[in-house]
Chains A and B, each alone.
Chain A
Amino acid sequence: MAKLEAANASPGAAATEKWSVRRLFSEWRELGIIAALIMTVLVFTAIDPEFLSSYNLVNIVLQASVTAILAMAVTFVIITGGIDLSIGTALALSAVVSGLLMSQGYPLPVVVLGTLATGALAGLFNGTIITLSGITPFVVTLGSMSIFSGLALIVSGGQTVYGIPPEFSDLLAGKIGPIPTPIVIAFVVLVVSSVVMRMTKLGEYLIALGGAREVARLAGIKVGFYTAIAYVISSSLAAVGAMVTVGRLGAADPALGADLLLPAIAAAVMGGADLNGGEGSMLGAVIGALLIATLQAGLTFLNVQAFYQQVAIGVVIILALLSNRLQKA
């Protein structure tokens, strides 16, 4: 009984506690994806040592920043046992709003608040419907994916929004010291998200209701409220990604979202998010995004055609998920 279990905590009885690679991997879930990333970099470097040039590395991280932000966004939702298929188009909608506010000369605080509010409202829409209707998140966000995309086209009149004042581009796509701003923003999102997940009651509740919804409900946690919060966070982060995107492109394209969804979910899941809920890692999601960006950059670097690139990336994603599974078994 308890004696046995207590005995195992004491150093003497540590026969089976001994260090092993297996144990390390199962305790530190991100290790697998980190290893995959390092291996990918090594393979490309072995093929062509030029790959590792610092310009290229910074560029990869820069490319990954928006995917990373979206991957963290969707991780918040996946942890609760849900899914957010609308983050891509929520980003597009926020981007269009952001672009319009910028091009019409509003000051920065208004632009930021307006964009975040757009994202938050999109998330509130998802969260409220999911909580009140009981329809599965997959279906609700499939619908809202289309709604947000339509709204983005309506608001922009179907046209890409140009005329972003250069000061916005400088601010959002410039550099802070030697580091490109999008990387700094993604890093801040990573730190804040990790702190929220690991150190606050909100994070603990999200994990609890993803892993054991009925248990959380019976423990008096307002599961509907916290579920909705997860979607609000998700779409708000998509709005953050929207500002970075608009800054980098110097324009807001209402059709932006479509290509962003799959890499974001793939990165989140490769990073350890369990689609059944209850588990997920912000750091893992970011590394997953880096892995995808590295593959894209490496294959482009090696002049692999775009069509083949897609196949290769798909294969790597499946391999990564497979090793995740083995790690958990």
Chain B
Amino acid sequence: MSASTAKPLLSLKGISKSFPGVKALQNVHLDLYPGEIHALMGENGAGKSTLLKVMFGAYSADEGAFELSGEPVSIRGPVDALHKGISMVHQELSLVPQLSAIQNIVLGWEKSVAGFIDWSAARREALAALARLDFQGNPHVPVSRLSVGQQQTVELARAIAANAKIIILDEPTASLSTKESEKLFSILRELRADGHALVYVSHRLAEVFDLADRATVLRDGQYVGTLLRGPDLNETSLVKMMVGRSLEDFAIQHEATLGAVALKVDGLARNGVFQNVSFEVRRGEIVGMAGMVGAGRTEVARCIAGADRIDAGSVSVNGKALSLSSPSDAVRAGIAFLTEDRKHQGLALRMSLAKNATLTRVPTRMGFINRTKQAADAKSALASVGARMPTTRLAGQLSGGNQQKVVLAKWLLSGCDIFIFDEPTRGIDVGAKAEIYALMRDLADKGAAILMISSDLPEVLRMSDRVLVMREGTLSGEVARAEATEERIIAFASGGNTWQS
């Protein structure tokens, strides 16, 4: 990592980019050196994804210049970027849902023999890339049947298989668990050692300190500065550069006062996915659910929320068994389900924030929608999760983290009092995370029951009154708050330990 002496592989000079009504980037510089992992940091909406998409040719910059190994170039589009050795893992999943993992990786394959693509070689390389990432899913079924985490792994495999010199990763770990993230990091380190240049976005600061050689910070679309690995690259300075002020520590002190059992799941099973899952969530309680990607956590949540059919067992709310034939049954019983895939399951991207936020409960007056109240409701719910943008904007125009806040706002307005949060802070910046944690605690204190699925172990430890751990479709452990440590949870999640409560 001789970043200071080597010549930059890619250099971005004075990049500006506007969307209608928003200056997403203004005069941003970035140099990428071979053999470095370069973290790109900033709050939600700071312009990180926009900058990466400009690098990848998915957006064209309004102003600015590129240099590739010292030569001025222009990147005309993603295909051109791939040709020039730049590949990207997008923040939102960008796989073709109907195609298998292998087909997705092979899609757009460039190598050909006498004009014919060597499909078997392509497939071999695809499988090799998947194996390198320890991919656990079935590479032959349509990726829409894989979990979000597994799809994320496929995206990574695609970027790696393209064998690019420059690999752009936009929040690759947002839906990976600690263990899978570790795996990813070791691969990133290997790639770095091979002389690849990696740009990397994450809102998990610990990862950045662990991994990054340099960190560049953006704020409100402007370049703030670059920190080199070393004593300067620490939480205080980084947060200060990102947010523009220091954040107080948001350790949450509380004594949960537990009420009646709100949600009871008994012997729940879905054939081939998970079996015999039983647990309770009381009012006033936040129950964390940890486990590896593919352990079946999301699938359990989907069944409780009426999104998938249950094959055995029962779900009761306030002691009454529900008959769940569709999500509307669950919502009527007061169960809110915040999905992990916000783009396909959380937001109507072409509708305004106000309409999205009030979708579960459209305010009406005499049969007509009360637009004033709709906007006001949305605005206050958004404010409570740390988002302060005009509610007339379309959901598709927001940055990933801000979209997540809209999904949260939607469920806050639903009137439900049992919340299943699947990766609630996925992609959310440090400042807003603190607000959302406080909000969840507040919901619980007001009598809500919360089940929080999260792959972010520090988050699970910080927020949960009790931690359930899943492994391979069964509950493998339960840990009380007092005894919860990373080691214990990981042991249950990976099979080093068996059930005890």
Tell whether, in the assembled complex, residue B344 and residue A211 are in contact, meaning their CB atoms are under 8 Å apart: no
Tell whether, in the assembled complex, residue B389 and residue A212 are in contact, meaning their CB atoms are under 8 Å apart: no
Tell whether, in the assembled complex, residue A1 and residue B45 are in contact, meaning their CB atoms are under 8 Å apart: yes
- Interface centre among B355, B369, B401, by most A CB within 10 Å? B369
**A208 at interface, CB cutoff 8 A:** yes
Q: Which residues from B are CB-within-8-Å of A217?
A: 307, 326-327
Which residues of chain B in 149-191 are interfacial with respect to chain A, using CB atoms and an 8 Å cutoff?
A: none
Tell whether, in the assembled complex, residue A5 and residue B348 are in contact, meaning their CB atoms are under 8 Å apart: no
Contact-size category for A? 20 to 34
**B463 at interface, CB cutoff 8 A:** no
In chain A, what residue has the closest Cβ to B362?
A: A201
One of B19-27, B119-127, B277-285, B448-456 at the interface:
B19-27
One of A8-16, A35-43, A247-255, A265-273 at the interface:
A8-16
In chain A, what residue has the closest Cβ to B390?
A: A9
Which residues of chain A in 207-245 are interfacial with respect to chain B, using CB atoms and an 8 Å cutoff?
A: 207-208, 211-212, 214-222
Tell whether, in the assembled complex, residue A208 and residue B359 are in contact, meaning their CB atoms are under 8 Å apart: yes
One of B78-86, B233-241, B257-265, B328-336 at the interface:
B328-336
Tell whether, in the assembled complex, residue A218 and residue B429 are in contact, meaning their CB atoms are under 8 Å apart: no
B327 interface neighbour in A219, A278, A279, Cβ under 8 Å: A219
In chain B, what residue has the closest Cβ to A220?
A: B331
Instruction: From known contacts A2-B387, A218-B305, infer whether A211 and B350 are also in contact, taking CB-CB under 8 Å.
Output: yes
**B388 at interface, CB cutoff 8 A:** yes
**B426 at interface, CB cutoff 8 A:** no
Tell whether, in the assembled complex, residue B390 and residue A222 are in contact, meaning their CB atoms are under 8 Å apart: no
CA separation between A269 and B401, bound complex, in Å?
34
Q: What is the distance, in angstroms, from A7's C-beta to the closest C-beta of chain B?
A: 8
Q: Which residues from A are CB-within-8-Å of B344?
A: 212, 214-215
In chain B, what residue has the closest Cβ to A4?
A: B220
CA separation between A200 and B43, bound complex, in Å?
37
Q: What is the distance, in angstroms, from A132's C-beta to the closest C-beta of chain B?
A: 13
Instruction: From known contacts A1-B43, A200-B368, A221-B359, infer whether A23 and B20 are also in contact, taking CB-CB under 8 Å.
Output: yes
B330 interface neighbour in A2, A4, A220, Cβ under 8 Å: A220
Instruction: From known contacts A201-B369, A211-B348, A218-B305, infer whether A1 and B22 are also in contact, taking CB-CB under 8 Å.
Output: no
Q: What is the distance, in angstroms, from A62's C-beta to the closest C-beta of chain B?
A: 32
Q: What is the distance, in angstroms, from B363's C-beta to the closest C-beta of chain A?
A: 9
29 contacts across the A-B interface (CB closer than 8 A) = A1-B42, A1-B220, A1-B401, A2-B45, A2-B402, A4-B45, A5-B45, A8-B21, A16-B21, A16-B22, A23-B20, A26-B20, A199-B368, A200-B369, A204-B355, A207-B348, A211-B351, A212-B344, A212-B351, A215-B344, A215-B346, A215-B348, A215-B359, A218-B345, A219-B331, A219-B359, A220-B328, A220-B332, A278-B351
Given contacts A1-B44, A221-B359, 20 further A-B contacts (CB under 8 A): A1-B45, A1-B46, A1-B401, A1-B432, A2-B386, A2-B402, A8-B21, A9-B390, A200-B364, A207-B348, A212-B349, A217-B307, A217-B327, A218-B337, A218-B345, A219-B360, A219-B410, A220-B414, A222-B326, A279-B350
